[in-house]
Amino acid sequence: METGMNAAISIRDLTVSFQGKPAVSEVSFDVMPGELTVVVGRSGSGKSTLLRAVNRLNECFEGCETDGRVAVRLAGKTLDAYAPGTDPERLRSRVGMVFQTPNVLPISIERNLLLPQKLVRGVDGAGARDIMERVLDDVGLLDEVKDRLRQPAATLSGGQQQRLCLARTMALEPEILLLDEPTASVDYRSSEHIERLLLRLAPTLPMLVVSHSLGQTRALADRVILIREGSLAGEWRRTSPDADTAFDELLSSAF
Amino acid sequence: MLAILLFLLWFSLPLCNADALSKLLAWDWRPFQGQFGILPMVAGSLLLSFSALLLAFPVSVGICCFAHGMGPAGPAALLMRFVKLMTSVPTVIYGFVGVFVLVPLMREVFRSGSGFSWLAAMIGLAILVLPTIVLMLHSQFMIVEPQVKLTATALGMTPAQRLLHLVVPNSGRGFATALVLGFGRALGDTMIPLMLAGNAPQVPGSVFDSIRAMTAHIALVVATDSQSLAYLSLFACGLILFLSSTLVNLGLQWLGRPDGRKE
Amino acid sequence: MKAGYRLFTSFCWVSALLPVAGVCGLIAFLLRQGWDVLGLKLFFGDTPPLDAIFGFAPVWDGIWPACFGTLAVIALAGLTAIPLGLFCGIHLSEFPRSRFTGLLDFCVNLLAGMPSILMGLFGFALILFLRHTLMPNASTGLLLSGFCMGLLILPYMVKATQSSLAGLPDDLRLMGAGLGFSKSQAIRHILLPSAGRGIMGGVVLSIGRAAEDTAVIMLTGVVANAGLPRGLFDNYEALPFFIYTMAAEYQSPEELQRGFGAALVLLALTTGLFLAAHGLHNAMEKRWKRG
């Protein structure tokens, strides 16, 4: 295993438990920059918990305990996510996350994109609007919503909402991206948009994606991590010899 | 039940319809000189209720924000239990302690007369309506907060930013309901104004002056049997209270959530 | 911006601490002033307790008559409000909605929001009315207070019954129908027993309200020194009113001390009832929560 020096995310001996029951136990791996990493596993195997451990979002849930080390590389420096001096808000604002189900804020489309920029990054005015248009364009939403920016975000369709959430995360210009089954609850068109965007971003933006779909994993992943009952159960790399057969073997044991 | 309500209404109406109405709607209450104006009491009730709300509302918002992310989870849960428990404290006990703590305090600190004043009653009422407002706001926050908590946190917002920019702006209806509910409670309470406000039938010049609320007026007039026009004033007050509480209720219905009362 | 948030944080802390400090101070103050008088003497003065309880001997310097008056009012209010409230609640939750239930619902809400002094005023008006018409010698008294207090707590009863029944899983209703029960049989034998704890919670809560309210009884027959009431139409004493008069016109330090004692007793009573109601409510929720 790599030393984790240059890794974008380095996870060592990570154990997360809720009310004393472990959801993730003793997991170690690295996410290297430029290598799109996909986590697969049955539902309930602890994939989401693993993902949330990176930006300390598990702390929002009651009775959660986290052990082990998670380090992320931000602005050229390695930041220990769970060190006492670490500011969780800064960590979360630099490590973007998109959820399984679209979670637009109950405000207008435009405010969904502008408010976080203003609050988290202090970007306001024309600069923020430029960023807004760029990210909307990136997720293929600009043409669909540019005339209704002031309408509540909840009026969008599910797929549009999910793309809006991705855009909202991108607007904060994160250095690492976490995606929890980003296409699980969207229509085909949105799903395609999202996947295309992820492939385009992958070379420059380190990403950790949880996926439930075989096809998506095959299309996206440079690397696959298999989680079974909270533990690491297998790995795959696109660059490894006989990658195709290994992929099939791994995935057949996963799904 | 409807019959009962109608009966109350019907009983007050004919009493008010007489030409006594003009006498009642006057600014002077001097029963021994035949002047029975109840307007000072109406003003007193309104002033007291609004000022108590003014005092209780910001504190209530603070409490709710504390319970929803500004404070640590343990104390926050404890605080909400405590506020619920506050609803069970009898108003007469607030009044009683007010008489022996608040009033002497007023007398000492502000050196103004007897200490039975608008201010004392206002503080007492504020404590009384506080749980009502807090619990209403809390139930509204409970609806809004889960929708935004995870998202806002994942975006890197602090709890303060989440509350101020997302939860509070999306709880407008809850705020309005809480205010109306609190107002109804403050307006309808008898014991605190009766025991703390000094009960002089006048429009107060300052918060240290004595003031008389409609509810206290009813209690006082019944206690000191006087002439029949005094009784009229009593039913007029009753009618006004009845109408205002009906208005409050209609307001609540209009706001769509008539629950969240003292429970 | 940063400073603003810090200000907001401290504001929240201060807001949270204020009422806690206030109410804890209140209780501490009551305890300090009233602790010494707590005891049998507070209730019965110099009269032997058993004689006092059964009314053989009058109690002059204890709060027993006031306690008894309060209990009597609660009992009468309960007799009025509990059956009526049950019926209303059942009607509201189990029978199809119509214009009538809508109106009933509105009336219950209206009644719930009514200032308590209006209930008292209503009772007072009722007596005036009776005096002018049917019974020239009608006067305020225990029965009237109980009735008006019943009106005051009625909406609480209705709401509790209604929400407990509404909280029951639909399976239970289907079960009644499946067994071939008629509607009233199903309510009587299946729904009411299942909702029992929730309804009990409502009963206890209403009793708490009846125990604390002062405005109603002030207008309908409570007096300062009546001793034990001799009948349903007699005047009586009550705890909250006793506290009120002590605050206004105590004549000696001993009397004042008794006032503090009475306040403590009342506070313990209402808080105890409240906690009991809460416990019942929680037990009810736990029982029918799925998953």
pLDDT 10s digits, B208-237: 777 888 888 888 777 665 556 666 677 777
Residues C12, B59: C-beta atoms closer than 8 Å: no
State residue C109's pLDDT score: 81
CA distance C235 to chain B (A): 14
CATH number at residue C210: 1.10.3720.10
List A180's β-bridge partners, or say none.
A210
| Residue A142 CB neighbour total at 10 angstroms | 15
Which ipTM value was assigned to this complex?
0.77
- Written as one letter, the residue type at B91 is T
Report DSSP state, residue C222.
B
State residue B68's pLDDT score: 84
Residues C212, B85: C-beta atoms closer than 8 Å: no
Nearest Cβ partner of B160 from C8, C218, C248? Answer: C8
Residues C13, B95: C-beta atoms closer than 8 Å: no
In A, residues 89-118, which contact B (CB 8 Å cutoff)? Answer: 89-94, 96-97, 99, 103, 105-107, 115-116
State residue B34's pLDDT score: 60
Residues B253, C116: C-beta atoms closer than 8 Å: no
Q: Structure tokens of A212?
A: 């439930």
Task: Enumerate the H helices of A40-157 as residue ranges.
Answer: 47-54, 88-94, 109-116, 125-138, 142-145
The mean pLDDT of C146-155, rounded to a whole number, is 85
Q: Which of B199, B15, B218 is nearest to B95 (CA)?
A: B199
- Helix, coil or strand: residue C280: helix
The string of pLDDT tens digits covering residues B24-75 is 666 666 666 666 677 788 888 888 888 889 988 999 988 888 888 877 878 8
Q: Is C54 a domain residue?
A: no
Task: State how far the Cα of A105 lies from the Cα of A72, in Å rounded to an integer.
Answer: 27
- Count of domains observed in chain C: 1
Tell me which chain B residues have a C-beta less than 8 angstroms from the C-beta of A165: 151
Q: Is C60 a domain residue?
A: no
Indicate whether this model's pTM tops 0.90. no
Range of the domain at C160: 66-290
Cα dist. A239→A114, A242, A252 in Å?
40, 9, 20
The string of pLDDT tens digits covering residues B106-157 is 777 776 667 777 888 888 888 888 988 898 888 888 888 888 888 888 888 8
For B152-167, give the secondary structure using H, E and C: HHHCCCCHHHHHHHHH
Residues B73, A62: C-beta atoms closer than 8 Å: yes
The string of pLDDT tens digits covering residues C229-257 is 666 667 777 778 888 887 777 777 777 77
Task: State how far the Cα of C256 lies from the Cα of B239, in Å rounded to an integer.
Answer: 36
Q: Which residues of B touch A (CB under 8 A)?
A: 73, 144, 147-158, 161, 165-166, 169-170
Q: What are chain B's domains? A: 37-260 (1.10.3720.10)
Lateral strand order in the sheet of A223-228: A95-98, A176-180, A207-210, A37-40, A223-228, A231-237
The string of pLDDT tens digits covering residues B71-85 is 787 888 888 888 888
Compute the C-alpha angle B241/B242/B246, nearest 5°: 115
The dihedral sign for the CA sequence B152, B157, B159, B163: negative
C1 at interface of B, judged by CB pairs closer than 8 A: no
CA distance B34 to chain C (A): 22
- Written as one letter, the residue type at C116 is S
CA distance B18 to chain C (A): 18
The mean pLDDT of B194-215, rounded to a whole number, is 76
Q: Mean pLDDT in chain C?
A: 78
- Helix, coil or strand: residue B59: helix
Residues B151, A172: C-beta atoms closer than 8 Å: no
C276: pLDDT confidence band, cut at 50, 70 and 90? Answer: confident
Q: Is C3 a domain residue?
A: no
Nearest Cβ partner of B219 from C9, C15, C218? Answer: C218
Tell me which chain B residues have a C-beta less than 8 angstroms from the C-beta of C23: 82, 86, 89, 127
Nearest Cβ partner of B147 from A89, A106, A119? Answer: A106
State residue C186's pLDDT score: 81
Residues B96, C244: C-beta atoms closer than 8 Å: yes
| Residue A98 CB neighbour total at 10 angstroms | 25
Q: Is C270 a domain residue?
A: yes
Subunits that touch chain A (at least 3 Cβ pairs < 8 angstroms)? B
Task: State how far the Cα of A247 lies from the Cα of A219, in Å rounded to an integer.
Answer: 12
- Written as one letter, the residue type at A165 is C
Residues B62, C274: C-beta atoms closer than 8 Å: no
Residues B8, C259: C-beta atoms closer than 8 Å: no
Q: Is C14 a domain residue?
A: no
Q: Is C36 a domain residue?
A: no
Q: Is C53 a domain residue?
A: no
C199 at interface of B, judged by CB pairs closer than 8 A: no
C interface test, pick of B96, B102, B212 with most C CB neighbours within 10 Å: B96
C interface test, pick of B41, B70, B114, B246 with most C CB neighbours within 10 Å: B70
C108 at interface of B, judged by CB pairs closer than 8 A: yes
- Helix, coil or strand: residue C187: helix
The dihedral sign for the CA sequence A51, A56, A60, A61: positive
The string of pLDDT tens digits covering residues A8-34 is 888 888 888 888 888 888 888 888 888
Tell me which chain B residues have a C-beta less than 8 angstroms from the C-beta of C151: 4
Do B67 and B138 contact (CB within 8 A), yes or no?
Answer: yes
**E-strand stretches of B125-206:** none
**pLDDT score of A177 more than 60:** yes
Tell me which chain A residues have a C-beta less than 8 angstroms from the C-beta of B158: 89
Residues C266, B160: C-beta atoms closer than 8 Å: no
C3 at interface of B, judged by CB pairs closer than 8 A: no
Pairing of strands A176-180, A95-98: parallel
Q: Is C137 a domain residue?
A: yes
Q: Structure tokens of B35?
A: 């002047």
Tell me which chain A residues have a C-beta less than 8 angstroms from the C-beta of B151: 99, 103, 105, 165
State residue B260's pLDDT score: 41
Nearest Cβ partner of A60 from B144, B149, B166? Answer: B149
